[in-house]
Structure 1
Amino acid sequence: MFGDNEKKLSKKKDFWIEFFAGRIDGGHRSSAEEFLSMEAEEKLFHLKGGKTLLDFGCGAGELLSYYAPEYEQLVGVDFSASMLDEASKRIREQKCGNISLIQADDKTVWDKLESSFDRITAAGVLQYLTLQEIDSFIFNALSHLNKGGKIVFFDILDPRLYPLWKIGLFSQDADILNILRKIGFEFKVMLSASLNNRPKDILGFAHSPNIIKKIANKYSFEITFVQSMYYEYKYHAIIY
């Protein structure tokens, strides 16, 4: 199930650490509070309840702080110290006393947790995990998920829609000539990448829903897929 390219990238342990070093934003389409509020509202709809929540890859805490009023206890996890510093500032400013933060990655987080959760979520994170790492994440999450709980992966890059977004199909000012020009440009980029053995412009992975479903079913989970409202080329996976 897991390809050679994933195995090669997973061996570059310092790649993502270097990429996120010094970052202080979560990479949302907009940092405006109005947008973050709408994005969080959509995600809370899919999380639907529970009293405790683990937000893995919480980044600067933009969504976590909006989740806070809906839960009794929340834990935000990220491996980036600079991100967690920003998250800590945001939590203090918004007086979110029910949030605690942990510095960890997908492998070390489980030993640092002191409780189980009704909801385990990760937004925009699966792009940076191989399928083997996603498999391990779901397996480990099993022992930290309360009965009736959910694992919800938000904003997974869709390999079917990402190329369409790249050529501008979803743009408000899209027209056929611009789309044809971009198709030609993207073809040149893909050809150059192939000839020079360089990676595509995407950072990380675009995972097919069918493969995510196979991993979830492997651990006797049911799964539902939902299109993202605010990122046209991404989808959500609700695992229960």
Structure 2
Amino acid sequence: MSKVLESKKYVGPKNIWKDFFKDKKHGGHRYSSEDFLAMEAREKLFHLDGGRTLLDFGCGAAELLTYYAPQYEQLVGVDFSESMLEEASKRIKKKKLENIDLILADHETLWENLDYSFDRITAAGVIQFLTFQEIDKFIFEASKHLNKGGKLVFFDIMDSRLYPLWKIGLFSQNVDGFKILCKTGFEFRTIISAILKNRPRDILGYSHNPNKIKKIANKNGFEMICVQSMYYEYKYHAIIFRT
């Protein structure tokens, strides 16, 4: 039976996204249907490529984690949102999965809860909420809990080269020059307003250039392969491993 383990030193996330996720109960998937979640999970399982144990950081309501479960002996889901983990626990119980544990922690407090390592450490749609410095520290700490031959896989990172184009509608099926111009103006005003009010420019998080993520991975002794996401035009996957 799954259980939620809470860090004794946990005091909540200290980043700007805390309030945004406070009462969330579902992840940021394009569609919430089980058919779509199953397809998305199959894509991610292909890139995870095996292993027996898995840590899913930012597991949210366990939409993907429960699809990973049949392929692994033991899994741990981690999130800093209590409401998300409550939904995750319900979902795990409903699917009668007994090989998943849940931990309430953020990217800083997670590692003090772990006294064992994993074949795969993954995060989907989460890295966009971390700065480059936080990503660097995450990879460094994750490397201590990664088994020999293991992989660290960041899914669905917003690409700084493609995300702005997606936001103004360049990837829409019915591209309209006037609409693109209007959206460009709106985004420009949004950025200026965010700067003046000292708030995040985009509630979806930061967009990260894959070359920068690769440099961080290399700095920590890893190689990295960048793969385009199948279901999100402006996102990519970072598959990080040691040769």
Tell me the TM-score normalized by structure 1: 0.89
Encode CA deviations 1:148-203: one digit per residue, 9 max, x unaligned: 00000001111111110011111122233332332343344445555666642344
In 1, Cα distance between equivalents of 2:112 and 2:199? 37
The 3 A distance-change label for structure 1 pair 220 and 188 is: same
Partner of 1:133: 134
CA RMSD of aligned residues (A): 1.7
Q: Which has the bigger relative contact order, CA under 8 A and spacing at least 6?
A: 2
Letter in 2 for 1:84: L
In 1, Cα distance between equivalents of 2:170 and 2:141? 38
Partner of 1:82: 83
Question: Greater helix share, 1 or 2?
Answer: 1
SS in 1 for 2:64: helix
In 2, Cα distance between equivalents of 1:181 and 1:64? 39
Encode CA deviations 1:50-87: one digit per residue, 9 max, x unaligned: 01000000000000000001111100001111100000
What count of residue pairs does the alignment treat as equivalent?
229
1:114 matched to 2:127: no
The 3 A distance-change label for structure 1 pair 95 and 214 is: same
SS in 2 for 1:15: coil
The 3 A distance-change label for structure 1 pair 129 and 197 is: closer
Encode CA deviations 1:200-230: one digit per residue, 9 max, x unaligned: 2344311111111111001110100011111
Shift of 1:15: 3.1
In 2, Cα distance between equivalents of 1:133 and 1:60? 23
Encode CA deviations 1:97-143: one digit per residue, 9 max, x unaligned: 11111111111111111321000000011111111111111111111
SS in 1 for 2:42: helix
Partner of 2:40: 39
Partner of 1:200: 201
The 3 A distance-change label for structure 1 pair 100 and 35 is: same
Letter in 1 for 2:103: I
Partner of 1:59: 60
Letter in 2 for 1:161: L
In 2, Cα distance between equivalents of 1:192 and 1:21? 24
Partner of 2:125: 124
SS in 1 for 2:156: strand
The 3 A distance-change label for structure 1 pair 203 and 98 is: same
Q: How does 1:12-51 map to 2 (within 5 A)?
A: 13=14, 15-51=16-52
Structure 1 stretch 24-33 or stretch 176-185: which is displaced more? 176-185
The 3 A distance-change label for structure 1 pair 172 and 104 is: same
Q: How does 1:145-156 map to 2 (within 5 A)?
A: 145-156=146-157
In 1, Cα distance between equivalents of 2:17 and 2:184? 30
Structure 1 stretch 15-24 or stretch 155-164: which is displaced more? 15-24
In 2, Cα distance between equivalents of 1:181 and 1:204? 22
The 3 A distance-change label for structure 1 pair 192 and 103 is: closer
The 3 A distance-change label for structure 1 pair 130 and 197 is: closer
In 2, Cα distance between equivalents of 1:196 and 1:93? 44
Structure 1 stretch 211-220 or stretch 172-181: which is displaced more? 172-181
In 2, Cα distance between equivalents of 1:154 and 1:129? 13
The 3 A distance-change label for structure 1 pair 198 and 120 is: closer
The 3 A distance-change label for structure 1 pair 140 and 34 is: same
SS in 2 for 1:133: helix
